[in-house]
Amino acid sequence: MERPKKAYEIGELDQYLFGQGNHYEIYKKLGAHVVKDGRREGVYFAVWAPHAENVSVVGDFNGWDVKANPMERNEPLGIYTAFVPGVQTGSLYKFCIETYKGELIYKADPYANSAEMRPGTASRIADILNLKWSDAKWMEKRAEWDHHTQPISIYEVHIGSWKRHPEPDKEGFYSYREMAHALTDYVKEMGYTHVELMGIAEYPFDGSWGYQVTGYFAPTSRYGSPQDFAYMVNYLHKNKIGVILDWVPAHFPRDAHGLADFDGTPTYEYADPRKGEHPDWGTKIFDYSKNEVKNFLIANALFWIEHYHVDGLRVDAVASMLYLDYGKQDGQWAPNKYGGNENLEAIEFFKHLNSVILGRNPGALMIAEESTAWPKVTGRPEDDGLGFSLKWNMGWMHDFTEYMKLDPYFRKGHHNQMTFAMTYAYSENYVLVLSHDEVVHLKCSMLNKMPGVGFDKFANLKVGYAFMMGHPGKKLLFMGQEFAQLREWSEARELDWFLLAEKEHVAVQEFYKDLLHLYKRNKAMYELDTSYEGFEWVNADDGYRSIYSFIRHSKDNKKNLLFVCNFTPIEREDYRVGVPRRKQYKLVFNSDEVKYGGTGEERPLVYRAVKKECDGRPYSFGYKLPPYGVAVFEF
């Protein structure tokens, strides 16, 4: 008769749920967990290795001896387990797997909660059961929060290069705890609502920026311990700043200690290389047909959101998961059973993932980085949508950057590039993004995309940012672009903060900061983001002068905003704008202020509309519009 299982051990129900793909807290059973077995304290190890002949746990506690701690196989799924007494928190370990070929391979724990600092590749015992939280108010509010009607302005950050540590023993990295304070102070002053952190799950190669993950359940040790990471999330929450993580369920690297051929066979990846490999990236693709693999990923998403209180996940490379032929030539991919190029298993995975994450965690965000016209990415799974909360608007980003690169003389022939996004603005719930991808690989920084020299470059960038902030959709800007970084971003150095000794860069920073606070202060700029009632063109067709004018409406229509953006260096002394009512229009944002690098010319703060037709409207008022001028009026 089999002895009864202890509470911490893998039981029949655990195996059944894992085999069904529904064990949403499997991370509490698989991996390495500090436990007490009677009077003995130690660590319970469990690993899924279905095609392994034998598995043992090796570590600094047993001299890395393959024979010291063999693991017991649990059927029917092939989960190997062992209790090893006396093992302490902080110990390093790996699983030694004997493959069906008789080879010994050494793998890091897929469910490890901590990892050795690179270039080391071992997992590290960590006890994360009693993390310290004092963000209960934030978590309660999050549960009632509706992202559709709330402001979201995201600061995308790579911790390792936001600032570099001056002390040589720190390898240039600020710790999670140090970053918590420095980043919070900056983000609060600037007026962002959320930070999005790149490269948090453990990864071996700095140059991958965290997009080639080997430790899905371990905050990278570059910046400290799991407790330190929890401190940072908690501190940001206490200061009313949301935390979004980049999350990579699309692929994983081939590193020998990672998930690739985990038990000597394709365990986590598709066995068929036409489905299981990305030729361009040299990485492996998760097998979304296996319940245990889907469970690994869904439980991982829940782990960050529920265990570490993270507020949302930005899901990387969604298009590469949806299309079987993504980045592949003819002969490199296999069609689905209907002959199409859609990955049917990935589609079902997304519906399951988003239903579970958002069903269990009201107020959390699931954000798709999806670069195609795939329908209903933010649609409900019941309506055959994928179920994401938000989708990155890559189409807007492409049109915007291409337009902004143009010499102003040629913009009149491309006027519709800035208006086109409004034809599909309500087909999904969008985030307008100018992300890290736009300022690397010889694409130039945002400033150096701009035409001209000197004043023109800075003025172009500012009017572009104002247009972005006024346009429907949530907002995301990559770090450094808010003060007009000159160089492209590199993960190997800190941002060029020394530029803030120059008034032009300070002016851009002040400009973007005031836009962020204007955005947060005015419901018209966000509460009807997903509704036709929230936006109205005044003049979308003024291509000859390259001027765009539009209105953002609030729900109660009491505090609306009129935007006017001039994308040429030509001053319009007699600019007249049509308006819907014979009211007073109060100037609440003026790009010509000295602090923004303008002339500081005095002008009225209130403008009275008169009965004079303009822009197809019965009323209008005149305004002296400066070169690359931005004016926002409240009415």
> Of 106, 124, 142, which one is at a domain's C-terminal end?
124
Q: Does residue 21 contact residue 294 with C-beta atoms inside 8 Å? A: yes
Q: How far apart are CA 373 and CA 421, in angstroms?
A: 12
170 pLDDT more than 80: no
User: What length is written for the chain?
Assistant: 635
Q: Sorting pLDDT into bands at 50, 70 and 90, what band is 165?
A: confident
Count Cβ atoms within 10 A of the Cβ of residue 291 and give its class: 0-12 exposed, 13-18 middle, 19 or more buried. Answer: middle
Average pLDDT over residues 558-574: 96
pLDDT higher than threshold 70 for residue 1: no
Please state, for a pLDDT cut of 70, what percent of the chain lies above it. 99
Show which of 80, 104, 124 is a domain's final residue. 124
Enclosing domain of residue 56:
12-124
In a domain, 58, yes or no: yes
pLDDT at 485 over 60: yes
pLDDT of residue 38: 82
pLDDT single digits (tens) 491-543: 999 999 999 999 999 999 999 999 999 999 999 999 999 999 999 999 999 99
pLDDT band at 350 (very low <50, low <70, confident <90, very high): very high
**Whole-angstrom Cα distance, residue 33 to residue 126?**
8
Q: Domain tally for the chain?
A: 2
pLDDT in tens, 36-71: 988 889 999 999 999 999 999 999 999 999 999 999
Find the catalytic residue in 369, 428, 438, 592: 369
pLDDT at 154 over 60: yes
What would the mean pLDDT of 82-92 be, rounded to a whole number?
Answer: 96
Report yes or no on 478 lying in a domain.
no
Closest CA to 218 of 27, 15, 18: 27
At 79, is the secondary structure helix, strand, or coil? strand
Q: How far apart (Å, rounded) are the C-alpha atoms in residues 305 and 365?
A: 9
Sequence letter at residue 152 = I
pLDDT at 139 > cutoff 60: yes
Predicted TM-score (pTM) of this structure: 0.96
CATH of the domain at 538: 2.60.40.1180
Answer whether residue 116 is part of any domain. Answer: yes
Mean pLDDT of 573-593: 96
The verdict on residue 344 lying in a domain is: no
Higher-pLDDT residue of 170 and 278 is 278
pLDDT tens sequence across 215-227: 999 999 999 999 9
Lookup result for tokens 């000159």? 486
Q: One-letter amino acid identity for 135?
A: D
> How far is it, in rounded angstroms, from Cα 375 to Cα 360?
25
Question: Is position 518 within any domain?
Answer: no
Region of 515 please: left (phi>0), alpha (psi -120 to 50) or beta: alpha
Q: For the domain that residue 110 is a member of, what is the CATH number? A: 2.60.40.10
Annotated catalytic residue within 135, 156, 316, 529: 316
Does the annotation mark 140 as catalytic? no
- pLDDT tens-digit readout, 463-480: 999 999 999 999 999 999
Per-residue confidence (pLDDT) for residue 3, from 0 to 100: 65
Residue 485 backbone dihedrals phi, psi, to 5 degrees: -50, 135
Q: Summarize the confidence of residues 294-313 as an average pLDDT.
A: 98
- CA–CA distance, 217 with 113 (Å, rounded to integer): 5
pLDDT for the residue 167: 82
Strand, helix or coil at 578?
strand
* Catalytic residue list contains 382: no
Cβ partners under 8 Å of residue 209, min gap 6: 158, 198, 199, 436, 491
* Predicted confidence band of residue 322 (pLDDT cuts 50, 70, 90): very high
pLDDT of 214 higher than 90: yes
What is the mean predicted confidence (pLDDT) over 290-303?
A: 98
Q: Which two tokens stand for residue 435?
A: 């992300």
pLDDT tens by residue, 7-29: 889 999 999 999 999 999 999 99
Helices 344-360 and 291-302 cross at an angle (nearest 10°) of 30
CA distance 16 to 24: 12
- For residue 434, the one-letter residue type is L
Round the average pLDDT of the chain to a whole number and report it.
96
pLDDT recorded at residue 195? 98
Percent of the chain with pLDDT over 90: 96
Tell me the three-class secondary structure of 330-382, residue by residue.
CCCCCCCCCCCCECHHHHHHHHHHHHHHHHHCCCCEEEECCCCCCCCCCCCHH
Name the residue with tokens 């490999």.
277
Domain boundary among 67, 94, 124: 124
Is 70 exceeded by the pLDDT of residue 633? yes
Q: Tell me, what's the pLDDT at 2?
A: 60
